[in-house]
Structure 1
């Protein structure tokens, strides 16, 4: 890569701005910053803190982790750097490691006599609450819920009653009351008084000129707790329309509604359902995607009319299209490590579709930067598991399937926009067991003709708990001369790596592997905003050639 460009990108990152570049270029910029640490010309701690804040706010958690760990290795413990690292680990669902680091960070902060140490110690207490909350979401364990309340309440009481910890206590106490109505929280933490206190606080902050979207979301959630849904909806709209509200903020409130308040945008019977539906429609309009949580999947299965109620009248896609898409979800899985940390997506096809086995044999396809023994940061096959959302939803618990360590075919990643036939970013494996209801997705070697009317769709597992469906703004932009790479406008998030790319007949035509707002064009000079997939045709041809060479 061009050294001058990487230096420029690193400079932008250190200023607190995410540079407009390809993922590999961002990783190179992060590595360059890491190489300068501890040198006389290296960045100072404030620059690194800004960079980590920008990466986390843009949900780029893996580069944030890389940079923070580089700082720790070369310069040791820093209060803010450690908080940013723990935040990234929690968002990546690496809860055990996050807890381990938090324990050490709290001990270190207690030995420091500074105002910053006192502030960050409080932040660490809040992160302890977040970890316990996520463990409760995973397991529905009432002890984890009680621990989450304890941590958030300690932070709320200790340092000026910060509203963002107070509203978490409100939501978790409401969840506790649902689980066991006989439980009484400690005095000062009881509903609805606590919700009213938080609401008074955020209204004062808004009146005093605090220009942040968070108080608006907090006011909406407080009104939700007070069963004043019209007011909750009003403040939700204010939050969504705030000029500083970004996808990170929206996803945070959406997850709180789904996971703690049990909001279900398809069910539409509770206030949390209603607010979730508003957020879903806003995201569809503004971010061109739609996410379906496990509870929504179950609702769609039990009550197919819920799709009619929610999507009738939509001009950009039809209820019939959604139903056909849902049929495919049983064969789309999420790749995790043994601790449940998500690495990406993959899907089932017949071995014959790739020329590596009979039609009756299933194989699992994903990116080599997701599963590989040789690609940096990929999960080794021996440590990889796959869960299928539809199967887990039907059984009411996660059902992990072990990846068989022997790889059937793999090809390393290449540079986006470059059509090297030996760098297809694909790994094909078998699973030790197969999901109930999982079948081979139909594939098609024929690629659609690019035009404004030609659509492709991506279904995958981004960060979070939901299957994400990219159904809007899904124009097929271009296909390379070798029919190897496809570029499309379909929006995706980190975690979508390894997703199937479908044509309008819901046949898999490509494997999604990268996206950027600065993707090199397949023809001519210049860049554009696009995602990139590797065609099933090229994967099949390379897999067959590899078998013949053995």
Structure 2
């Protein structure tokens, strides 16, 4: 297996390639690109930055798209493609106001340079992003004015240059509006047929494009909603299966349609009596078995808590975990938070535990030092850090803020067993408040012994998304001789940094901080695919200043 350097990985990214790499190595490569851009005099071709940002976007590495795009923007101004990719990353990371500001800048540049063909070529995407921002505001606030504003953005461009993508969004949003303010139903049916025809034509003419398959499924869903007796639901499911098994349907594509289904159509895997519910259930099963994870938004979680019989209905057939596992996980949710910067960009996870574990009072919040720190490069400054909890997602409560840092330890190198005990990659702090119902996660009394039968589960907010639980293929691989590093094979993504790692009793055993498909083994020579956490017991020893165990 060839070991890459950060420089080699950075060179691959600017070629539009995405080699397998550890989380720290990828972050280092991105830092190299951003640092190169930090000096305005450095001759960095915009084509290279476009390629790097686009390949990172395709793999949902939005925090890295954000870092590179910001570095370009701050030193070189507004490039139409780089600015679009940066604005899209800001939307995905939840910073809607900043995304709107970036689009305003592009509008000003477009007006100042009316003959610039690159700006003209991006017009459709500009309008679509405007629509996406307003759609997301509607999802967050249920403000019908935002829904109408989103429709206007998509529809304006749809009338100029019709495409299945624009038409699919216009259709979904107009059907959603129809549920609140009745629209002429025949107009909606005609629109659905137009979108379906465009999508199926594209499927035939461009079979390499998976998006047309998703739009065909969505158009059939709309027709079923408008003509429930006509049998469109089966076609919606068929097109969805074709989409999911398309060779170019990756995590970005899957999440995009799944999110539209949940947020605009109201699809819930718990509602299999509806077409959108069955589609959501297909998505849930597909992700569970192909990506080995299960995600749920706040409404899904609350419904499961209020209707425990639905746990049996939806999860009783699983072999990798039990219904009791899901039931227990639901009780943990008030204690697990998403870490953002002051602009609302979601960059990591953290969790609450009882301070009594460390010999102090109250609840303490734990995350990685590479997520929150005043000294670790690229981390969020403590004063700028914000923490949101899923249980408060629609409560109107402001984010929690860091009140006091009690302990911090800088990150170490992935898989380096012999590093000093100070390399714990952890920040322990008090928040200015904690959610109602948060009592702190339980800490395990001892570190489990590695075995193929011993499980390690991770719960967090990966890729800046909703709460996600790793459930399948979650095996504890090894613990280093110093009881500091723990390796486990469990599905994690960027944004999982700072997540709690649980044993089979749902007690915290470690803080997740990195992972790689080429991770150095803790015992013996060689590399393997693994995620790495820092054990809570080593963090406790660091807190107390206990000498390193040699």
| TM-score in terms of structure 2 length | 0.92
Whole-Å separation in 1 of the counterparts to 2:373 and 2:82: 30
Q: Is structure 2 residue 254 aligned with structure 1 residue 253?
A: no
- The answer to whether the 8 Å contact 1:19/1:26 transfers is no
Whole-Å separation in 1 of the counterparts to 2:433 and 2:32: 42
Whole-Å separation in 1 of the counterparts to 2:514 and 2:8: 22
Q: Is structure 2 residue 396 aligned with structure 1 residue 392?
A: no
Whole-Å separation in 1 of the counterparts to 2:184 and 2:373: 50
Corresponding residue of 1:104: 105
Return the offset for 1:220: 0.6
SS in 2 for 1:33: helix
SS in 1 for 2:31: helix
Return the offset for 1:276: 0.7
Corresponding residue of 1:425: 425
Aligned pairs for 1:485-524 within 5 A: 485-524=485-524
Aligned pairs for 1:190-201 within 5 A: 190-201=187-198
Corresponding residue of 1:478: 478
Return the offset for 1:184: 6.3
**Pair 35,406 (structure 1): closer, same or farther in 2 beyond 3 Å:** closer
Whole-Å separation in 1 of the counterparts to 2:385 and 2:33: 31
SS in 2 for 1:192: helix
SS in 2 for 1:455: coil
Match of 2:411 among 407, 410, 413: 413
Corresponding residue of 2:382: 381
Deviation string for 1:136-162 (max 9, x for gaps)? 111111111111111111121122x02
**Pair 146,370 (structure 1): closer, same or farther in 2 beyond 3 Å:** same
Return the offset for 1:6: 2.8
Whole-Å separation in 2 of the counterparts to 1:431 and 1:312: 38
Task: Single out whichever of 511-520 and 231-240 deviates more from structure 2.
Answer: 511-520
- The answer to whether the 8 Å contact 2:509/2:536 transfers is yes
Whole-Å separation in 2 of the counterparts to 1:392 and 1:266: 22
Corresponding residue of 2:371: 370
Whole-Å separation in 2 of the counterparts to 1:272 and 1:530: 36
Return the offset for 1:463: 3.2
Whole-Å separation in 2 of the counterparts to 1:47 and 1:3: 23
SS in 2 for 1:226: helix
SS in 1 for 2:131: helix
Return the offset for 1:457: 0.5
Whole-Å separation in 1 of the counterparts to 2:347 and 2:8: 29
SS in 2 for 1:509: strand
**Pair 226,182 (structure 1): closer, same or farther in 2 beyond 3 Å:** closer
Return the offset for 1:116: 2.8
| TM-score in terms of structure 1 length | 0.92
Query: How many residues of Structure 1 are paired with residues of Structure 2 in the alignment?
Result: 535
Runs of 5+ unmatched residues, structure 2 = 225-231
Whole-Å separation in 2 of the counterparts to 1:101 and 1:473: 41
SS in 2 for 1:452: coil
Corresponding residue of 2:294: 290
- The answer to whether the 8 Å contact 1:388/1:399 transfers is no
Return the offset for 1:477: 1.1
Corresponding residue of 1:215: 212
Whole-Å separation in 2 of the counterparts to 1:516 and 1:42: 32
Corresponding residue of 2:468: 468
Corresponding residue of 1:310: 314
**Pair 204,3 (structure 1): closer, same or farther in 2 beyond 3 Å:** closer
Task: Single out whichever of 403-412 and 167-176 deviates more from structure 2.
Answer: 403-412
Corresponding residue of 1:348: 352
Task: Single out whichever of 511-520 and 285-294 deviates more from structure 2.
Answer: 511-520
Match of 2:124 among 104, 122, 125: 122
Whole-Å separation in 2 of the counterparts to 1:67 and 1:29: 10
Corresponding residue of 1:320: 324
Task: Single out whichever of 223-232 and 324-333 deviates more from structure 2.
Answer: 324-333
Return the offset for 1:274: 0.9
Aligned pairs for 1:36-55 within 5 A: 36=36, 43-55=44-56
Runs of 5+ unmatched residues, structure 1 = none
**Pair 457,385 (structure 1): closer, same or farther in 2 beyond 3 Å:** same
SS in 2 for 1:453: coil
Corresponding residue of 2:229: none
Return the offset for 1:290: 0.5
**Pair 184,414 (structure 1): closer, same or farther in 2 beyond 3 Å:** farther
SS in 1 for 2:366: strand
Task: Single out whichever of 78-87 and 469-478 deviates more from structure 2.
Answer: 78-87
Corresponding residue of 1:278: 282
Return the offset for 1:57: 0.7
Return the offset for 1:75: 3.8
- The answer to whether the 8 Å contact 1:401/1:433 transfers is no
